[in-house]
Amino acid sequence: MAEITLPEVELNIYGPKNPVEVPVVENYIITKESSPNFVRHITFDVSGTELEGRIKVGQSIGILPPGKDERGRPHKLRLYSVSSPNSGENGKPNLVSTTVKRTIEEFEDKLYIGVASNYLADLKPGEKVKITGPSGKRFLLPEKAKEFNYLFFATGTGIAPFRGMIMELFAKGDYQNECSLIFGCPYRTDLLYSDYLEKMAQEHSNFHYIKSISRENRRKDGSKHYVQTKIEDEEELLLPILKKDNTLIYICGLKGMEAGIYKELLRLGLGGYLDIRKNLPEDLNEIPRNDIKKFMKPSARTFEEVY
Ligand SMILES: Cc1cc2nc3c(=O)[nH]c(=O)nc-3n(C[C@H](O)[C@H](O)[C@H](O)COP(=O)(O)OP(=O)(O)OC[C@H]3O[C@@H](n4cnc5c(N)ncnc54)[C@H](O)[C@@H]3O)c2cc1C
């Protein structure tokens, strides 16, 4: 099997104590008009800063929102995954993009508007933002990335790093292995970057764009679609790829999504993607979602960033 060596990456060139101010160059909505969710594609110009050309796809940048929290302390940094490839947005190393969902919560009759995500979503081109980073040294494409097959699982803004990774793999037209993306969302209006992904699937027979829409229809047996159920639904395509020893799995998005994927991998006899830590119950469904890491963790072939 091809050796999985992760590239050396730069970390925290700018930290919370010495952030760098950069302007926004574009900020547009990517969820469809009728979606109750608002997700935006935002690009920053890092020209003339130490970040230019030094952020790798899979890493995140930190955002320091202005203002203070309810205790009067400056707001803490929030992380956002980079969604542009290593070469930068549109091939420009000075342009770095991310994908931001406005977070809004109603709790005990009070509305809470997420501080950083709504600050970012409201920014206009030309306005400046304090950023830090890059951060993250594990959720990366390996060196010799083109020697591997990939199965990417994304929910929500978990798509961000995969947009950049897909651009990275296919940019030069010499990627010969198989790359599949399973994107999960409740309704079709929440599909993100789908025009780009559909186009990639049309243009590249080795890129497979699989949508898992949970609330619009059911599977043949009446059960709901989840990202993990797509392995079975698309088994003719995915099982032979998953059985190859140069295949890697990446999971990004909502915390908890990994539990269903782990259980499905075990059910299908694909335990090589996991390190089992303790005796498993016969019925895997007995393992509560929040306890899954007590029983198993990702192996060297599985990469995960959930939040
Ligand atoms: C490695 C990593 C990568 C990430 N990548 C991305 C990404 O690419 N895109 C992205 O959109 N996000 C990403 N995130 C999440 C992001 O960092 C933020 O956590 C997210 O945007 C929410 O931040 P916020 O400041 O808007 O909300 P916060 O102000 O931090 O609030 C969080 C949530 O709690 C609610 N809330 C606040 N106070 C209360 C209260 N008292 N009672 C009840 N509810 C309350 C808010 O409405 C909000 O929904 C990532 C996180 C990590 C760790």
Q: What's the pLDDT tens digit per position in 49-90?
A: 999 999 999 999 999 999 999 999 999 999 999 999 999 999
Residue of 80, 84, 108, 305 with the most ligand 1 atoms within 8 Å of its CB, for mutation: 80
Residue of 117, 192, 305 with the most ligand 1 atoms within 8 Å of its CB, for mutation: 117
> Is the minimum distance from the CB of 305 to ligand 1 under 6 angstroms?
yes
pLDDT at 262: 96
pLDDT at 33: 87
pLDDT at 2: 75
Q: How many residues does the chain have?
A: 307
Secondary structure (DSSP) of 215-271:
TT-B-TTSPBP-TTHHHHHTHHHHHHHHTSTTEEEEEEESTTHHHHHHHHHHHTT-G
pLDDT at 289: 87
> Is the minimum distance from the CB of 78 to ligand 1 under 6 angstroms?
yes
Residue nearest to atom 10 of ligand 1 (CA): 100
Which tens digits make up the pLDDT trace of 207-251? 999 999 998 889 989 999 999 999 999 999 999 999 999 999 999
Q: Taking 90 as the threshold, does the pLDDT of residue 169 lie above it? A: yes
Which tens digits make up the pLDDT trace of 134-162? 999 999 999 999 999 999 999 999 999 99
Q: Write down the architecture of domain 20-135 according to CATH.
A: Beta Barrel (2.40)
Per-domain residue ranges of the chain: 20-135, 145-306
Q: How far is the CA of 118 from the centre of ligand 1 (A)?
A: 10
Which tens digits make up the pLDDT trace of 5-47? 999 999 999 999 999 999 999 999 999 989 999 999 999 999 9
> If you ran DSSP here, which 8-state letter would residue 33 be given?
T
Give the residue-averaged pLDDT of 275-302: 92
Task: Give the CA distances from residue 126 to residues 23, 25, 50, 93, 130, in Å, rounded to whole numbers and listed in that order.
Answer: 5, 6, 20, 18, 13
pLDDT at 92: 97
Q: Give the CATH class of 145-306.
A: alpha beta
> Is the minimum distance from the CB of 76 to ligand 1 under 6 angstroms?
no
Nearest to 33 by CA among 139, 141, 174, 189: 189
Give the residue-averaged pLDDT of 291-295: 93
pLDDT at 18: 97
Distance CA 158, CA 90 (A): 21
Q: How far is the CA of 103 from the centre of ligand 1 (A)?
A: 6
Q: How far is the CA of 115 from the centre of ligand 1 (A)?
A: 8
Which tens digits make up the pLDDT trace of 115-128? 999 999 999 999 99
Q: Taking 90 as the threshold, does the pLDDT of residue 278 lie above it? A: no
Same fold, 20-135 and 145-306: no
Distance CA 159, CA 149 (A): 18
Residue nearest to atom 21 of ligand 1 (CA): 117
Q: How far is the CA of 24 from the centre of ligand 1 (A)?
A: 20
